[in-house]
Each structure stands twice: as C-alpha cells, then as structure tokens.
Structure 1
Amino acid sequence: MKIGLRILLGYVLIVGLAAWFLLNIFVDEVKPGVRASQEDTLVDTANLLAEMAAPDVKSGALTAIAPPMRDYARRSVSARIGGITKRHLDYRVYIVDAGGIVLFDTAGTDVGKDYSRWNDVYLTLRGKYGARSTRSDPDDENSTVMYVAAPILDPADRSRIIGVLTVAKPNASAQGFIERGQRVILRWGALLLGLSLLVGMAFAWWLARALRRLMDYVADVEAGRKAVLPDFGNNEIATLARALEAMRTRLEGKEYAERLMHTLTHELKSPIAAIQASAELLQEDMPEAERRRFLGNILEQNTRQKRLIDKLLALVRVEQQQRLEQAAPVDVHALCAVVAGDFSGALAERGQVLDMGEGGTPLHVQGDELLLRQAVGNLLDNAIGFAPPGSVIRIAACRRDGFAVVAICDSGPGIPAYAQERLFERFYSLPRPDGAKSTGLGLPFVREVAALHGGTVTVANAAQGGCCAELALPLPLTL
C-alpha cells in the first residue's frame, strides 16, 4: 500500500472515530441537558406556587389559589419557540396536605386520592428534594412525565410542612427541542467531518505527490538517468530533497572523477607508449626516410591524444549536465543541412554522396543547437567512416509519433552481433574498413545529448543492408 493511501486511511480512521465519539456524546447529552433545564424550571415554578398556596392550605380552603390554576389549565396559547410552535400549556399542578391526600388537581381527576407514597410527595414531606418521572402509559417509554414538588410551609412557623405542591410536565413537550438540537449537531458535525476529510485528502494528496516526485528523482538517480531535483518549496521535504541532492553530487562527483581518471589513463597508455618508442628510436642514427616515418608517427599519436582528450572533455560536460540551461527552437531540416556542410570535405575525400531527400514539412524542436549539431555530426561521421568509398549516405528528418526523427543510413558492413550490446559503451569502437579506429566516445556523446533533450538514439542494421542511426527528439506540444 502506498504511503499516501496509508496516511489518508489513517487520517480518515482517526477523524472518523473522533467524530463518531464526539457526536455521540453531544447527541446523547442533548436529551438529559434539555430535561435538566426543564427540571430546573419546574423547581422554580413549584416553589413559587407553593408560597402562593400556603395561606389557602393553612386555612383549609383553596379559595385564592385554585380558581387561577383552573383558569390556567383552560387557557390556549400559540407561540413560536426555536422553530417549534407551542399550542397548549403542559403544566399539571396538584396540592396535597400533610398526610399526602390530594386537595387540588388542575386535571380534576385525583382529588381525594392518597399520594403519600409517591416519591415527590413522600420525600418532600420529609424535608428532602422530591421528584419523580413516571410513565402515563406503562407501555410507552415516551409518555414519561416529570413531577417536581415543593414543600408548603406554615406561614406562622416556616419550619413546619403543612402540604406539598407538585408541578408536572410531560417530557414529550421537550422532545421537539431535543430532536431539533440533535439534528443541528448531526448536520454541523457531518459538515465539519466532511471538511476535515477534504482537508485530510488534500494534505495526503500533497504529501503523496511530493514523496512520489522525490521517489521518481531517486529512481532516476539510481538508474543513472538525467535527473533534476524538483522544486518542493520551503518545507521539510524540500530540506530532505536538497540534502539528497548534495549527497548525490558529492558521491557522483567522486565516483565520476575516479572512473574518468582510470579510463583516461587506460586510453592514453597506447599513444604515449607509441610516442615514447618512436622518440627513443629517433635518438639513434637512421636513414632520413625512417626518421620522417617515426616523426609522422609521433605527430599522429599526439593528434590522437588531443582528439581523445577533446572528445572526452565534451562528453564529460554533457554527462555532468542534468538539464538544458537555455533551450531554443531548432529547425531540424536546417540543422541537417548545416551538418552536411560541416562534412562536405570528408565526403568529397571519400567520393561519397550525401542524399538529403526532400525537405518535407517544417520540423522544430526545443533544444541546444550546438549540442544537436555535434550529435548529428557524430552520427554522420560514423556513417562516412563505415560506408564504402563512392557510396551514397542518406540523411532524412521526419515526424513520427510526436518526435522529430533524424535518420542517417549507410551501405557499410553493418554491426556484428557481438558488438550490438556495446555500441554505447565509452571507448568501445569497431575498426573501420580502412583500418582506422575512432575514440569510442561519439555514440556515448550522442546518447547523453538525446537524454538531455528528452529523446533517444538507436543504431541498428538496416533491412536492405548497412547501418541506420536514428536520433528521436520530442516535438513541442501544440494546443
């Protein structure tokens, strides 16, 4: 499983569990919270009414308190509260004497009954807080009614309880507010959860994208491909990427220098030995013709060394270059014409003819014209060296699958099977038909230039004989 998906799943799990836990707590707390608030109101109301009822209970005639309470029970109301319309009053009030016998009931049903065993009355008569919650329908859990009692104190001796006043209110009257509160919490909770998940997804996508770009860069470095450090901005990943780039530069620089010195030393041994041997022989007396031959050998080997060093330096520069510094439009057909002009002397010397074909549709690529000129020149130089004198060499540029392809084909002996896998090795070269041997740096240089431009180079035997080299360069995207 990819790290971005792991991070996202972990985030979703943590946020989901936290949201579920918190939402459940909030939703579960709405109901007891509303009922606690309702009970608090009932306590205040019961104590207020108990004070108002005390004189009547003391006198034994409820002439002052009973009529208003009966009128209250018959009132109608229409009020909009928190989005819920209230159309009837829900309080039920009853008064009992010191023995628990009902003296008054707004419902008009239980006057004369003994309520002394009900918790609200029983506890209040003993000086405790009396309250109970009882179902009006034993089979319906939503039919509970909350009863809160207050002691009726003797006006002459407030330490003596002469009765109890209870205020009752159905819990169902608050159900609408409870459900509304729960809906609001769930709705906002779902919205916040959704936003949290979106933020988590965005963060996981950003982190996974940054890590994927870093891993692609590391994979390119590990495979030895051209790799440019992506821009990660200014964060911890960017710091890590820069540290990897610095480490890579140091390690590759050291390894490259060691490898370069080893190969250069190896390749220079032969011309240096030839020069040394010729110089030692020149110290002896010899015929003038022999002297001239040895002097010519020294000059030839010195030229070989210079050519080897120049080409190696050019290859080093392009190998160490990770990207094109200044890419500009390059006309591929014009480039081929310029390269043909560069090698007109070599072609004439061998009596060879360069067939440019037809110009075709214009082809333009983004790149470094000088590097591309050297690359195409190396391919043409190989073709001239391996093609028979007086033969025709074909060079053409065409569009193929989003690439501009420069193809150079000759009618030479082709590539032996044993050499096909080693053509792009540094310093590896095949002897040319005239016995000459190249530096073995031309094709590695072309491959590096192609990689810098995002392209490829292939060299293979042609079906009709000879060899065909193709340099493919990506064409710019067109809208």
Structure 2
Amino acid sequence: MNIGLRIFLGYFLIVALAALLLAQVFVEQVKPGVRQAMEDTLVDTANVLAELATDDLVAGRIATGPFARRVREVAGRDFGAEIWGFDKRAASYRVYVTDARGTVVFDSSEAELGADYSRWNDVYLTLRGEYGARSTRADPDDPDSTVMHVAAPIHDASGAIIGVLTVAKPNRALQPFIERSQAVVLRWGAVLMGVALLVGLVAAWWLSRQLGGLRRYAHAVTAGERATLPASAGEFGELGEALETMRVRLEGKQYVEQYVHSLTHEMKGPLAAIRGSAELLEAPLPDADRVRFADSIHAQSERLAQMIDKLLALAAVEHRQRIEQPLPVDPAELAAEVAELCAPAIARSDVELELQLEDLGRIEGDAFLLRQALANLVGNAVEFAPAGSVVVLRLRREEGDAVFEVTDQGPGIPDYALPRVFERFYSLSRPDGGSRSSGLGLCFVAEVAALHGGRAELANREGCGAVAQLIVPLR
C-alpha cells in the first residue's frame, strides 16, 4: 500500500469519526434543545394564565367564570399562522387548574375534571412552593406520545398557594421542527464530510505524486539511468534538491575513482612500450632498429593522446543528464557530413563507403555529438573491413525512429565479446594485427544515443561482417 493511499485512509478515518461524532452530538442535541425552548415558553404561559385565573378560583367559579369561557373559546379560533414553513391553525395546549388539595377543578379538555392530580410532579411540587414540571406519555406504549406539563402557583391576597395552573403541550407538536433541524444538520454534515474527503483525496494525491516523483528519480539514479529531478513544491522541492546534490557529489567521487583506476590500468601498456623503446634507444642500435623503436614510441604516444581525448569526450557526455538546448537536425545531411569527415581514413584503408540515405524529416538533439558518435561507428567499421571491401552507411526509418546503420564485411564480433562491446576500455584486436583501440568509442556512442533518448546496438551479419546501429527518435 503506497503512502498516498495510507494517508488518505488515515485522513478518511479521522474525518469520518469526527463527522459521526459531531453529527451524533448535533442530532442528539436538537430534540432536547427544542424542548428546552418550549419549556421556557410554557413557564411564561403558565404564570400569565395563573394570574388571569386567580380571581375566578378565589370566587369559586373557575369552571364557569370568564377565564374558563375564554380558554374554551381558544379551541375555536383559527390562528392562521405560518411558522418557518409550517402552518399553525389551532391551539395544541391543554390547561387545567387544581385546588389546594390537588383536585382538578378546571380542565380545558373536560377529560379529567375532578381527578386527583396531587401526586403528579407538576402539582405536587408547585403546591410545596417548588418549580413543578413533568413529561408524561399519553400512551404508555408509545415513546413519542410524551406531553410536557409546566405548572404555576395561584396565590390568594395573603400570598398563600390556593391552587395550581398547569399548561400541557404534546412534544409531538414540535416534531416537524425537530426533524427538519436534524435533516439540515445531517445534510450539511454530509456535505462537509464530502468536501473534507475531497480535500483529503486531493492532498493525498498531491503528496503521493510528489513522493512518487522523488521515488522514481531515486530508483533511476540507483539504476544508473539518466534522470531529471522532478518539479516539486515546498519541502519536497528542498528534498529533491538535496537528493540531486548528493547524487552529483557521490557520482562525481565514484566517477573520478573509477576513471582513475581504469585510465591507469589502460595506460600501463602504452607506457611500458614507450619506456622499453626509450631504454633501447639509449644504446647504440642499427638505423633500422632505431627507426622502428622511434615509430613505436610515436604510435604509443598517439594512442595515449587519442585515449585521453576520447576519455574527455566520454566524460563530458556521461555527466550530462539531458540535451539542454536540442536543435532540429537533418539525419541525411548528418550522415553525408560524417562520410566527408571519414573520407581520408577510408582512402588510407582502401575501403569504399557506400551511402544509402532516406529523407526522414528531422531529429532533435546535439548535431556535434551525433556526428562524433556516427563517425566512431564508421571508423570502427573501416578498421575491421578488409581492403577492397565496401562499408555501407544506411539511413532508414523504423517505426518512429531514425536508424543509422553501418555494415562491414570484416570478421565480425566473437560471441564472447558481444555482451561487452559497449563497456568502457573494452576493445578487440584488429584483423591486420594492429594494436587495440582505446575501447572508448562504442561506449561514447551508447552514451550519446541514451542522451538523445535512443540506443546503440551491435551484432553480427549473416555470412560475414558486423552491423552497428545508432537509433534516435524522430521529432
């Protein structure tokens, strides 16, 4: 499981738990909050009505007096109200009055007149001078049938409690408001959770993308491939720059160590030959031997000079991660320039160079490096080709690539050498018994091909000879 998915799942779990907790708290608090507001209203209503009922209760006409008549008339009133989208057409209150003993002496519903309510909390507590209220189920089997009762004391002129007025209202009357509030809370909670998850998904994708780019870059560097540092933001950018600096320093150190080791190893042969020839020249020698040893010194020093030049060219290519400013290059024109560049060496070797070029359009890259690489392939083919033979430089299209193909009629490549021909300092003896080359030419070709997003290949032809290919993507 990648880190982006783990981050997203962790974020999702946290957001989901937080959303569920908050939704649970809000939803659970809606109902008691609404009921608390209703109880506050009922307290005000009960006390107002208690004051209005005082005179009739003192006069003994609470069931037939003006108060009772007005309360009953409320049942026939059309309220015609609209409360936040809900119609309010009739009263949902029940009002009853008990005397000092807790007996119901007035009931707006006429259902419990004469009943003993002295044990109900609203009456019981109020008669004792305390705040009296209760919530009781109208139907014992229905938990949603609760009715809230809030009482207020009725006092005589001396201040004594002579009765209790209770206002009762079904909690179900407020259920539409509760359900709507809960629905709003849940809806917006779902929206916020969705937005939070979307933000988490984007953040996880961004983190995964940044880390993935750096991971691929690190793997490519570890594999020795050319890799471009991915564009990163913030601390990821700083991390990428630190990795790039570390790579450059480590590669530089390893590169120098490897090159010094390889160069000293390869220079031992020419230096030994030069030293031996110089020691022999110190003694009296026939003119023919002196000329031969002087030629050996000249040849070996030339070999050392070529090795150093090619090593410097190869080092310059290997340290480049990309072509900084690629330019359009005509491959056919490039091949013709290489043929002209190699003409003197071809003439000395008594070999003919045949061009088979197609018009392929353009490739993008560094014309100088491509020219050097192709010249190395042609030079190798000329060195291995027998006198009087033909070396063919062919340019053709293969899918979306331009293929420079150089074939010769020489002895070909031994099977044991095929896997190593592109290794640095690896070379084979020339057919005419000449000295080995620096072993850097084909390595240079492979590096130039990779730098242009292509590849280099070398194989034996059917019959005789070898075929070398420099493959570069067309623009």
Would you call these one fold, judging by a TM-score over 0.5?
A: yes
Question: Which of the residues 405, 408, 432 maps onto 1:407?
Answer: 405
1:363/1:404 contact within 8 Å kept: no
1:425 aligns with 2:423: yes
Structure 1 residue ranges (4+ consecutive) displaced by more than 4 angstroms after TM superposition = none
Deviations along 1:160-200, whole A, 9 cap, x unmatched?
21111111111111110111111111111111111111111
* Structure 2: tracts of 5 or more residues without a match: none
Gaps of 5+ in 1: none
Identity %: 55
SS at match of 2:152: strand
Q: Deviations over 1:341-398 (max 9, x none)?
A: 11122222223222322424x2312111111111111111111112222222222222
Match of 2:382 in 1: 384
Q: Is the 8 A contact 1:363 1:398 kept in 2?
A: no
Distance 2:177 2:430 in 1: 97
Aligned residue identity for 1:237: F
Alignment of 1:158-177 (within 5 A): 158=159, 160-177=160-177
For residue 306 of structure 1, what is the aligned residue in structure 2?
Answer: 305
How far apart, in 1, do the equivalents of 2:89 and 2:395 lie?
A: 90
Cα 1:461/1:4, change in 2 over 3 Å? same
Q: Distance in 2 between matches of 1:15 and 1:221?
A: 38
1:14 aligns with 2:14: yes
Per-residue deviation at 1:73? Answer: 2.0
Taking a change above 3 Å as real, the CA distance of residues 78 and 356 of structure 1, as seen in their structure-2 partners, is farther
Say which SS state the counterpart of residue 77 (structure 1) adopts: coil
2:216 counterpart letter in structure 1? D
Aligned to 2:35: 35
Deviation string 1:14-40 (CA, Å, 9 cap, x unpaired) is 111111111111111111111111111
Deviation at 1:441, TM superposition (A): 0.3
Q: Map 1:68-83; keep pairs closer than 5 Å.
A: 68-83=70-85
Show CA shifts across 1:219-266 (max 9, x none).
111111112222213x11122222222222222211111111111111
Matched residues, number: 472
Q: Which residue in 1 is equivalent to 2:195? A: 195
Query: Could you tell me which residue of structure 2 aligns to residue 450 of structure 1?
Result: 449
* Structure 1 partner of 2:113: 111
Match of 1:295 in 2: 294
Structure 1 length-normalised TM: 0.95
Residue in 2 aligned with 1:130? 132
Amino acid at match of 1:86: K
Q: CA separation of 1:185/1:463 partners in 2, compared to 1, >3 Å: closer, same or farther?
A: farther
Does structure 1 retain, via aligned residues, the 8 Å contact 2:349–2:383? no
Task: Quote the Cα distance in structure 2 between the aligned partners of 1:5 and 1:404.
Answer: 42
- 1:396-429 deviation digits (Å, cap 9, x = unpaired): 2223232222222222222111111111111001
| 2:475 is the counterpart of 1:459 | no
For residues 363 and 85 of structure 2, the distance between their equivalents in structure 1, rounded to whole angstroms, comes to: 70
Q: Deviation string for 1:268-317 (max 9, x for gaps)?
A: 12212211222222222222222222222111111111100000000111
Aligned amino acid, residue 158 of structure 2: D
TM-score, normalization by structure 2: 0.96
> Partner of 2:262 in structure 1?
263
**SS of the residue 2:71 aligns to:** helix
Q: Which residue of 2 aligns with 1:350?
A: 349
Q: SS of 1:290's equivalent? A: helix
Structure 2 residue aligned with 1:225: 225
Q: Could you say which residue in structure 2 is the equivalent of 1:65?
A: 67
> What residue in structure 1 maps to residue 147 of structure 2?
145
- Determine the structure 1 residue equivalent to 2:99: 97
User: How far apart are the structure 2 equivalents of 1:340 and 1:396?
Assistant: 11
**Counterparts of 2:86 and 2:397, CA distance in 1:** 75
Please show how residues 308-323 of structure 1 align to structure 2 within 5 Å.
Answer: 308-323=307-322
Residue in structure 2 matched with residue 56 of structure 1 by the alignment = 56
Residues in 2 aligned to 1:394 and 1:357: alpha-carbon distance in whole angstroms: 7
Task: Output one character per residue of 1:56-108: Cα deviation in whole Å (capped at 9) or x when no partner.
Answer: 21222232322221111221223222222223221111111111111211212
User: Against the structure 1 CA distance between its residues 88 and 403, is the aligned structure 2 distance closer, same or farther, given a 3 Å change threshold?
Assistant: farther
Q: Give the stretch that moved more between structures: 463-472 or 428-437.
A: 463-472
Letter of the 1:43 counterpart: V
Question: Matches of 2:456 and 2:121 in 1, distance apart?
Answer: 97
Letter in 2 for 1:60: G
Matched residue SS, 2:322: coil
